Amino acid sequence: MAKHIILLMSLVALSFGFLASAFEPSPLQDFCVADPASSARLNGHVCKNPASVGANDFSFSGLHLPGNTSNPNGSRVTPVSVAQLPGLNTLGISMVRIDYAPWGINPPHTHPRATEILTVIEGSLEVGFVTSNPDNKFITKILQKGDVFVFPMGLVHFQRNVGTKNAVAIAGLSSQNPGVITIANAVFGSKPDVNADILAKAFQVDKSVVDQLQTKF
Ligand SMILES: *[C@@H]1O[C@H](CO)[C@@H](O)[C@H](O)[C@H]1NC(C)=O
Ligand SMILES: *[C@@H]1O[C@H](CO)[C@@H](O)[C@H](O)[C@H]1NC(C)=O
């Protein structure tokens, strides 16, 4: 009887442990290289047979190459997450290179699963994030080459090149698959559209303004 109670309590404690875990769990083996061929659905990817794993599974090439910034944002994110580097599976980490044309922006967005730590390799960037409700405090700074800035998990943030030359940043993210929600695209470019009356009320503007924004995204 007492044994059963202890077992039950351990199970409850264990499930609370899982609920309280806001980060990717610690790996239970050296690695679990993602097997893209598997059709099994689970949280992350199925492990490739360790016997057939090699150095290429842990490497990615090309991050020295500038991304193409000829787009309305004037920026380009080159991700190195589990989709590009299968060895990242279960390791809770990834990175990106971001290129910015002069005055280019990486528009306001959030990573639902990651904190981001960014360093400027070339140029200077204006960066910022906004804290949660109810404060919505705006934290912002101009970064120069070599400066490092952290965007806490889940918060809306952005970068802008404030120099006259191209800028480059490298960032690390605390997830193998950080995810991106670009605010403008998610709110005004969902498929199908969010009802324009709802957005008009939420943004306190005329419905025609929402209609215009919805045609752009
Ligand atoms: C960059 O992207 C633009 C717009 O998509 C395209 O026209 C151009 O050819 C690209 N440049 C390079 C070097 O790939
Ligand atoms: C700007 O960049 C974001 C994130 O990469 C992308 O989702 C969005 O489509 C881009 N917007 C435009 C107008 O190109």
CATH number of the structural domain spanning residue 159 = 2.60.120.10
Query: pLDDT band at residue 21, thresholds of 50, 70 and 90?
Result: low
For residues 150-173, give the mean pLDDT.
Answer: 97
Instruction: Record the pTM.
Output: 0.88
Residue in this structure with the two tokens 């610690």, named with its chain if needed = 26
CB 207 within 8 A of CB 195: no
Task: Decide if 26 is inside a domain.
Answer: no
Interatomic CA distance for residues 209 and 177, integer angstroms: 34
* Bridge partners of residue 59, in order along the sequence: none
Tokens of 139: 């934290």
202/160 same-domain check: no
Tell me how far apart the alpha carbons of residues 3 and 8 are, in angstroms, rounded to a whole number. 9
Whether residue 91 is found in the same domain as residue 138: yes
Q: What is the Cα 100 distance to its own chain's centre?
A: 18
Number of structural domains in the chain: 2
- Are 205 and 105 within one domain? no
Segment 50-79, tens digit of pLDDT: 999 999 999 999 999 999 999 999 999 999
CA of 193 to the centre of ligand 2 (A): 17
Cβ of 164 closer than 6 Å to ligand 1, yes or no, is no
Is the pLDDT reported for residue 31 higher than 90?
yes
Q: Is residue 211 part of a domain?
A: yes
**Parent domain of 72:** 50-179
Residue 22, pLDDT above cutoff 60: no
On whether residue 105 sits in a domain, the answer given is yes
- CB contact at 8 A, 106 and 73: yes
Tokens of 116: 């981001």
**Among all chains, which residue has been given the structure tokens 């109810």?**
134
- Residues 214, 120 within the same domain: no
Say which range, 21-30, 43-52, 192-201, has the weakest mean pLDDT: 21-30
Mutate which of 70, 78, 166 for ligand 1 pocket (most atoms within 8 A of beta carbon): 70
pLDDT of res. 25:
77
Ligand 1 pocket, residue 195 CB under 6 Å: no
Same domain, yes or no: 57 and 152: yes
In a domain, 161, yes or no: yes
Q: With a 6 A CB cut-off, is 186 part of the ligand 2 pocket?
A: no
Q: Are residues 54 and 92 in the same domain?
A: yes
Do both 169 and 190 map to the same domain? no
